[in-house]
Structure 1
Amino acid sequence: MTRTRTLALAAAGVLGLAAVAGTGTLASAAPSASTVVATRQANYKKMGAAMKTLKDELQGSADKDKMVAAARTLAATVRVQNKLFPDGSGPSSGVKTDALPAIWTNRDAFNADMQKAIAEADKLVAIAGSGDKSAIIAQFKATGATCGGCHRQFRADD
């Protein structure tokens, strides 16, 4: 599948999931497991790219505007991720995913980790706006540690 097609499917999945989440009811044409998985994988790549931008800036010129933009991307994206793990979109769906079954069998812990990630990403946005490089580094590390903690519990090693 081409990158453009994958991103188009991902965008369609996000719109479909947003519509479902916004209404509180399950639409009759729920996105397929492959669409949901593609969307969440695309989002995780976007989050990884934002973290890389932050890391690169912190090791270099520390351009405040680039750091704020990357932190905002991270915070906005992590907010939608929890909605991208509906029942039937795990390994049992037959779609290749690194998501472990523990996401669905220990949903409360997964949801708690996602809430921690949202909180840390929000702090990163606020601190990135301060321009205080040492504070940004500290919050970057805290945010990364939260991501890593979730990965260890809920993501298969590549």
Structure 2
Amino acid sequence: MRRIMIAGALATLIATPLLAAAQDAVDTRVAGLRQLGAAFKNVNDELKSNTPQTMILQISARQIRDAARYQYGWFPAGSGPQARVNTKAKAAIWTQPAQFKAAQDAFAAQAAAFMRVTATGNAAAMRVQAKQLGEACAACHRIYRVDDKH
């Protein structure tokens, strides 16, 4: 009986840091994605305006581009649903890494393109590129994010 208790205690000691590390990765990912969402909101709000503020769009574009660069580190092994952490990320991220990276690359390319377009100050071109950027973001969500609307 004592051996079982010792084994259980050791298992808990070993598992606790692993679960904490996985939750830390999820917390970092969530924080980054919330910042990304705020930047998208700024873009959408400005582009709905009759007189969009180019400076706000450029700042938001830089934030989106930076998030697109950081996203590659937001999904480390062991930070998915199999780790029993609170995440909306689907296991397909880790079981289909090449496809997930392709989706990340598509988003990163659209983020870079949007940043370039904001430098022109052309609101019509920004609206077109913002739509393509949003579509790249949504495409990834459809496949790799748990839909909590159900």
TM-score, reference length from structure 2:
0.83
Q: Which consecutive unaligned segments of at least 5 residues does structure 1 have?
A: 1-28
* Alignment-derived partner of residue 3 in structure 2: none
Residues 96-107 of structure 1: pairs in structure 2 closer than 5 A: 96-107=86-97
Letter in 2 for 1:81: Q
* Alignment-derived partner of residue 136 in structure 2: 146
Deviations 1:128-156 (A, max 9, x none): 11111110000000000000000011000
Q: Deviation at 1:87?
A: 1.1
* Alignment-derived partner of residue 35 in structure 1: 24
Residues 111-126 of structure 1: pairs in structure 2 closer than 5 A: 111-126=101-116
Q: Deviation at 1:65?
A: 0.4
* Alignment-derived partner of residue 41 in structure 2: 52
* Alignment-derived partner of residue 56 in structure 2: 66
Q: Which consecutive unaligned segments of at least 5 residues does structure 2 have?
A: 1-17
Q: Deviation at 1:77?
A: 1.0
Cα distance in structure 2, aligned partners of 1:114 and 1:87: 16
Larger Rg: 2
* Alignment-derived partner of residue 109 in structure 1: 99
Give the stretch that moved more between structures: 141-150 or 77-86: 77-86
Letter in 2 for 1:155: R
Cα distance in structure 2, aligned partners of 1:78 and 1:119: 9
TM-score, reference length from structure 1:
0.79
What is the count of residue pairs matched by the alignment? 129
Q: Deviation at 1:94?
A: 1.3
Cα distance in structure 2, aligned partners of 1:86 and 1:45: 18
* Alignment-derived partner of residue 117 in structure 2: 127
Cα distance in structure 1, aligned partners of 2:80 and 2:127: 34
